[in-house]
Structure 1
Amino acid sequence: MLGKFIVIEGLEGAGKTTAIQTITRVLNQNKINQLVYTREPGGTPIAEILRDIIKNGVAGDPLTNKAELLIFYAARIQLIDNVIKPALSANKWVIGDRHDLSTQAYQGGGRKIDPHFMAMLRENVLDGFKPDLTLYMDITPELGLKRAKARGQLDRIEQESLDFFNRIRCQYLDLARQDSSIITIDASKSLEKVTKAIEDALNTWLNSNGIN
């Protein structure tokens, strides 16, 4: 069985960690046990250094929007070439905590970076590489940020305005409507209902691919 790349997306506080646990359980139930977990930004020594810059910034040197975008892609291609593609080639399944859809939503929607520039960059860096399945955990910014604040101190991006996160959510929803490989999950419901929705979506997708 060839490896597959499944990604979880969503705003802060959407429940991505719980979703990953649910996906792992469903895959294990289908005798898929060779799993590799990634997170973005990060996942390699270089990418983790870049993650720290994105999350915390550098004192006295404000990070510009385009520089932030380029750092994300630098970290992403390190992860793809050094971790994800080798794992898939070894018939392992990769479960990713965020991928390129985050950049399209956060930098494209939130930062309002020129879409033509972003499309050019994405095409040249990723060369068509994308997840087999993306589960987008949809939640309002108000609820998501409330959950994120309960976890502890917010990072540089989490401290952005509510309008910033509303633009991100709108972009997520718009992109999900355009791509059949993206399944939207209502993450505002109870844990039990969200878990069931993830299980149903994943089992349906596995069945459609002749896996379960």
Structure 2
Amino acid sequence: MNAARGKFITLEGGEGAGKSTVLNAVRELLAAHGLDVVVTREPGGTTAGEAIRGVLLDPTLHGRIAPETELLLMFAARAQHVRETIVPALAAGRWVLGDRFTDASYAYQGGGRGQPDERIAELERWAAAGLQPDLTLLLDLPVGVGLERVRGRGPADRIELEAHEFFERVRAAYRARAAAQPARFRVIDASRSLDEVLTQVRAAVTDFLAVNAARGAA
């Protein structure tokens, strides 16, 4: 008997949203429910993807990568990620927990860089094989709050060197996608205390698990 397909959960959000802490909390919650969890990230998730990540985040390349190049590099890493890591794990019945996926391209390369949504959608269909998450947690907070949080945590990468206005466009694009796809997205107020954020996250994931269990029993 073949294993039931696993589920794909992603975390999205701008700089300083606290994705790493939330990722660990979600992983622990899923594991507590007896689920086999694969944790991954973008750009990255494979040997080739991590090499591309190094290029994309290299601060010495700030202002020297065209928006089109950035978009294609993101999807080059994603194409490998989907085929090597995500799809095989889901097919084996494992649950995949990802730090960012294609929504990030609509936000950063679309909203931030001005790349057309239709161009990103075509790459999503082809390079990402049309794969979409089953649940996306959007950690939303004001841009100024997020940038203040990341200040001083280490040298800025190429993306973190962008202007405040860039991140405002990224946030607006994320919020627009969440509003357009309410069945998939859960918007988390990441400006609140860590305990309050984790309470929101655990409630959203627990609700998703309950709905998934009910569907499986039907």
Shift of 1:124: 2.1
> Please, which runs of 5 or more residues in structure 1 have no aligned partner?
none
The 1:189/1:58 distance shift into structure 2, 3 A limit, reads closer
- 1:129 to 2:104 alignment: no
- The 1:60–1:38 alpha-carbon spacing in structure 2 relative to 1, beyond 3 Å, is closer
1:66-111 deviation per Cα after TM superposition (whole angstroms, max 9, x unaligned): 0000000000010110011111111111110110000000010000
Question: Which whole-Å CA distance do the structure 1 matches of 2:155 and 2:62 have between them?
Answer: 21
SS at match of 2:12: strand
Matched to 1:168, the amino acid is V
Within the alignment, does 1:13 sit opposite 2:16 as a pair? Answer: yes
What TM-score comes out, normalization by structure 1 length? 0.94
- Identity within the alignment, %: 39
Q: 1:38 to 1:164 in 2, by over 3 A?
A: same
Structure 1 residue 147: Cα displacement:
1.2
**In 2, are the aligned partners of 1:138 and 1:187 still within 8 Å (CA)?**
yes
Name structure 2 gaps, 5 residues minimum: none
Contact 2:105/2:120 (CA < 8 Å) preserved in 1? no
Q: 1: distance between equivalents of 2:77 and 2:88?
A: 16
Distance in 2, Cα, partners of 1:9 & 1:103:
11
Please list the CA deviations of residues 111-130 of structure 1 after superposition, one character each: whole Å capped at 9, or x if unmatched.
Answer: 01122222222222223211
RMSD: 1.7
Aligned length: 211
CA distance in 2, matches of 1:60, 1:54: 9
Deviates more, 1:111-120 or 1:59-68: 59-68
Equivalent residue letter for 2:139: M
**Does the C-alpha gap of structure 1 residues 61 and 206 become closer, same or farther in structure 2, counting only changes over 3 Å?**
closer
Question: Is the contact between residue 10 and residue 16 of structure 1 (CA under 8 Å) also seen in structure 2?
Answer: yes
| 8 Å contact from structure 1 (residues 38, 96) kept in 2 | yes
Matched with 1:71 is: 73
**Residues 141/176 of structure 1: CA separation in 2 closer, same or farther (3 Å cut):** same
